A and B are shown apart, each in its own frame.
Chain A
Amino acid sequence: MTMAMTNPAVRRRRRQRAFRVAAVGRWAVTAALVMVAVAALYPLLFTVVNSFKSRAGYAQNPLGLPDGISFDNYVETFIRMNVPRLLLNSVVTTLGGLLLSTIAALFIAYAVTKLRIRFGNLLFLFVISMLVIPSQVIIYPLYETILNLGFGNSYSGLILAYAAFGLPMSTYLLVAYFRAIPDELIEAARLDGAGELRILFQILLPVSTPAIAAMSILNFVWMWNDLLLPLVIMGGSDNTTLMVGVALLSGQYDVSIPLVSAGLIVALLPVIIIYFLFQRQILNGAISGAVK
């Protein structure tokens, strides 16, 4: 840096000025950050507050705090949506999709980076280029294909679709990560007589937890929150995921905004809970896997 070449007197003067600017600047920065935080948190707060209002209460006072707290909207949400069942559907399909896409990505990333196979790079290119096919473009033929395979309206159909759509990004992350792991490590294990699968699961897997964690968060969030694939593959009613349930609730006859708000909070709660439980892991470690 240039610092080394500047003489001490100039440095001192600069330092004093820097502190003065910093004092003012720090306030401005904090104010800006607070504003962004308010913008980030307010919509959720607004929804929570509304979910405790009665229909009439919301009509008279849509913006303020409710007069009293009413849980009627939550009771109604549970009556209208089979929440436990939808939650189960969401958990099974998200975890299934997560697991399958992770395993498939681990396998192919290993094959492409650590095995001498022909067309390795081509395979890698093929898998990541699937990224350019958005789900909306192929949604109908995809659904037909899933039906042809006998997976319509079933967990397996949605899990396979999730896995396929999570695959390109996961593969990309893992391949980039595996490349950074020195081949010597693997050579040594091979010489010790370890099989390839053992090398993958006992050596590479532990080392690449940050990358796996990062892609798991990306995948978890989009799979849990996805609308299109479950809407089309699973249909309506009890078969579908929590997120589709909420989207459908909002379109239902005779709903009110407080009721929809309660539905939104119910759908959000599992994610929020996970976020608070694993906050440190998510915020500190997880994403760093993506950037090495």
Chain B
Amino acid sequence: MHSTAHQATARQKARRGGSGLRPSLFLVGLLVLPALILAVVFKLVPLVRAFWLSLLKTQGFYDPTFAGISNYRSMLRDPMFEDAFRNALMVFLSLPVWVFMPLVIALLLFQRTPGWKFFRAAYFLPYMIAPVVVGIMFRQILSPDGPLNAMLISIGLAPLAIEWLNGPNSALFSLTAVALWSFFGLGVLTYLSGLSTVPQEVVEAARLDGAGFWRLLFNFALPLIRPVVGYWTVLCMSGMLIWMFPLVYALTRGGPGSATMMPEYLVFITTFEFLNRGKGAAIGMALFVFVAFISTFVVRQMYREGRGRQP
């Protein structure tokens, strides 16, 4: 056969950025359909149904009737709605801490501090613990006469021994801190793997050159592992709100008042506790817009990294 010629054209094709022959429809279907079906049936269809539901008046459990935008009006009247989104925004403002705190720790570990393997293992452990478990644990630890305050008082920091979960700001702060506690280990590990591609000699040389820790961080580490920082930021942004839900559920239930109310928790209680599915869906749509707005950046970043060159 004309195998050499064939090979040549194939190579050419490959070099042009494409690959292979045009595959059979059956094969494409087999490869594409599972993911497509999962995405459409379990995400897109429910989203469309949620939008439709948000236009219905759901009287308790009676048959729903069309209600136009009345659920959205009712949603805007609800003081908790505003609080929930303000809190979500506040949580997002802590993103730099989520990104840099693990990076600093990873860099400290990367300098081969004695016992770094133990530290690495210890830091990753919280990530494995379910958020709902974390929430229940911290309800005890953060209570006014709990161990955290006992410790603060015993080392002479009594003024810091505040009622962590009671204050309007301290409750949200505590919730965010607990979430961070729970996830920073994954960040440390992610950064460490990124740093492992940086040759030790480079770091040593830079240190001997008199580079301080911060210069090391900003001048060497950051530029070298920028893709890793990007990946971790993507993970944080897309995950923060989702990670928050079980914590709110187990730790504060959105309280005191609405100090730690999050949009996703509000959707949940409106739908399942107040039995107002229509309004729950309306709040859900608002949350969707909010998340979509924030994650456009994330998805664009992901798309850039993963798209092929050919049209």
Interface flags for A180-196 (1: CB within 8 Å of B; 0: not) read 00011011001100001
Taking a contact as CB atoms under 8 Å apart, the answer to whether A117 and B28 are in contact is: yes
Would you give the shortest CB distance from B85 to chain A, in whole angstroms? 13
Q: Which residues of B contact A33 (CB under 8 A)?
A: 105, 108-109, 113, 115-116, 119
Q: Contacts A176-B305, A264-B137: A1 and B147 contacting too (C-beta < 8 A)?
A: no
In A86-121, the 8 Å CB interface with B consists of 100-101, 103-105, 107-108, 110-117, 120-121
Q: Please determine whether A247 and B249 come into contact, CB atoms closer than 8 angstroms.
A: yes
B251-300 contacts to A (CB < 8 Å): 263-265, 267-268, 271-272, 277, 280-281, 284-285, 287-288, 291-292, 295-296, 298-299
**CB under 8 Å from chain B, chain A span 32-72:** 32-33, 36-37, 39-44, 46-47, 50, 62-63
The answer to whether A124 and B307 touch across the interface, beta carbons within 8 angstroms, is yes
- Complexed CA–CA distance, A140 and B47 (Å): 10
Q: Which residues of B contact A100 (CB under 8 A)?
A: 34, 38
Q: Tell me whether A18 and B210 are in contact (CB under 8 A).
A: yes
Residues of A within 8 A of B50 (CB): 137-138, 140-141
* In-complex Cβ contact of B113 among A2, A30, A113, A271 (8 A): A30
Please determine whether B125 and A140 come into contact, CB atoms closer than 8 angstroms.
no
| Count of chain A residues with a beta carbon within 8 Å of a chain B beta carbon | 118
Given contacts A104-B38, A116-B22, A291-B194, contact A15 B141 (CB under 8 A): no
Q: Known contacts A40-B125, A186-B19, A257-B140; decide if A107 and B42 are in contact (CB<8 Å).
A: no
Residues in B neighbouring A272, C-beta threshold 8 A: 125, 128
B121 touches A14 (CB 8 A): no
Inter-chain CA distance A225–B242, complex, in Å, is 12
Stretch among A73-81, A201-209, A275-283 lining the B interface: A275-283
Q: Are B38 and A167 in contact (CB under 8 A)?
A: yes
Interface 0/1 of A127-154, CB less than 8 Å to B:
1111111111111111011100100000
Distance to closest chain A CB from B306 (angstroms): 4
Q: State whether A145 and B306 are in contact (beta carbons under 8 Å apart), knowing that A247-B132, A264-B133 are contacts in the complex.
A: no
Q: Which residues of A contact B193 (CB under 8 A)?
A: 287-288, 290-291
Q: Is B5 an interface residue (CB 8 A)?
A: no
Contact of B166 with A by CB under 8 A: no
> Which of B41, B118, B250, B285 has a CB less than 8 Å from the CB of A250?
B250
In contact, A191 and B277 (Cβ under 8 angstroms): no
**Are B245 and A130 neighbours in the complex by a CB distance under 8 Å?**
no
- Within the assembled complex, what's the spacing in Å between the Cα atoms of A105 and B32? 9
Question: Other than the known A145-B46, A246-B132, what 17 A-B pairs have Cβ atoms closer than 8 Å?
Answer: A1-B206, A29-B108, A33-B115, A40-B122, A44-B125, A121-B303, A124-B303, A125-B307, A128-B306, A137-B284, A145-B49, A169-B238, A187-B14, A227-B245, A243-B132, A246-B133, A287-B186
- A residues within 8 Å of B by Cβ? 1-3, 6, 11, 14-15, 17-18, 22, 25-26, 29-30, 32-33, 36-37, 39-44, 46-47, 50, 62-63, 100-101, 103-105, 107-108, 110-117, 120-121, 123-142, 144-146, 149, 160-161, 163-165, 167-169, 171-172, 175-176, 179, 183-184, 186-187, 190-191, 196-197, 221, 224-228, 232, 243, 246-247, 250, 257, 260, 264, 267-268, 271-272, 275, 279, 282-283, 287-288, 290-292
| Residue ranges of B at the interface with A (Cβ–Cβ < 8 Å) | 3, 6-7, 10-11, 14, 18-23, 27-28, 30-32, 34-36, 38-39, 41-47, 49-50, 53, 105, 108-109, 111, 113-134, 136-138, 140-141, 145-147, 150, 181, 185-186, 189-190, 192-194, 196-197, 202, 205-210, 213, 225, 227-228, 231, 235, 238, 241-242, 245-246, 249-250, 263-265, 267-268, 271-272, 277, 280-281, 284-285, 287-288, 291-292, 295-296, 298-299, 302-303, 305-308, 310-311
- Name 20 A/B residue pairs within 8 A (Cβ), A-sorted: A1-B202, A18-B210, A29-B111, A43-B137, A46-B140, A103-B34, A128-B303, A134-B287, A138-B49, A138-B284, A141-B53, A164-B42, A187-B20, A190-B20, A191-B6, A225-B130, A228-B245, A264-B137, A268-B133, A288-B196
